Amino acid sequence: MGSGELKYYYLETNIFPDNYLNDLWGEINACPYFVVNNLNRDFVGTKGFSIAFQRSGLSEVEQRFPFFKAYLDLALKSQCNAFYLNPLLLKENSRVDPHIDRSLRSYCKTIEPPAFVSVLYVRIPPDMEGGELVLRSHKHHVGQIKPQMNTLLHFQGDLTHSVNAVKTPGNRLSLVCEQYSLSNIELQEIPIFTIESRVAQSKKKKKYAS
């Protein structure tokens, strides 16, 4: 990484035991919320679900999803008080179009982009072609990261970013957490803990219809 890139992102490598990544892969795949993504149209051909929570809801996240605890212990920044966590699966021909993360805006319209976005690469296809994360700041290219398993990436939350189309078979699974530092007024609009998933949405619809 060149010195000019340090302010935009940094990487931590080989941070977890291999068995943790294997367990994480298995638990995420077995999770009933892990279906076609509930995220917007920028996420093409992807699977996942999301958890929005305040720091005061962290214990509930860890109780409901204990397999996320080791990641959250390491990734969460002390200056942040609201989070949007989502496992993200891409396969061959999946991609993510350019966007800036503001996922908590569905709860509070005044929220600015997160302070940080933290990405753990859980599983990567062998000899993967494509699938690189591309970072831009005001249309200037500031980084292109080829994912490596067991690498934790932190990048500035106000960067435009995208994922190039995956060109090879296999699974590219990352665990993404948007980390926000909100005012007390903004924080009041954020759920202490909630799950966003197409499965959760369909259950609510059935409940209201009955």
pLDDT at 37: 81
Domain range 3-209, CATH class? mainly beta
Q: Is 207's pLDDT higher than 80?
A: no
Q: How confident is the model at residue 210 (pLDDT cuts 50, 70, 90)?
A: very low
CB 105 within 8 A of CB 179: no
What residue ranges do the domains of the chain occupy?
Answer: 3-209
Q: How confident is the model at residue 201 (pLDDT cuts 50, 70, 90)?
A: low
Q: Is 5's pLDDT higher than 60?
A: no
**Mean pLDDT score, 63-92:** 97
Q: How confident is the model at residue 45 (pLDDT cuts 50, 70, 90)?
A: confident
Annotate the chain with DSSP letters as a single string. --GGGTTTEEEEES-S-HHHHHHHHHHHHH-TT-EE--S-TTEEEEEE-EEEEEGGGHHHHHHH-GGGHHHHHHH--TT--EEEEEEEEEEEEEEEEEE---GGGGT-TTPPPPSEEEEEEEE--TT--S--EEEEETTEEEEEE---TTEEEEEETTSEEEEPPP-SSS-EEEEEEEEE---HHHHTTS-SEEEE-HHHHHHHHHHHH-
pTM: predicted TM-score of the whole model, two decimal places: 0.91
Q: Is 143's pLDDT higher than 60?
A: yes
Q: How confident is the model at residue 199 (pLDDT cuts 50, 70, 90)?
A: confident
**Mean pLDDT score, 120-126:** 96
Tokens of 198: 């197409």
> pLDDT tens digits, residue range 147-187?
999 999 999 999 999 999 999 999 999 999 999 999 999 99
pLDDT at 44: 81
Q: How confident is the model at residue 60 (pLDDT cuts 50, 70, 90)?
A: very high
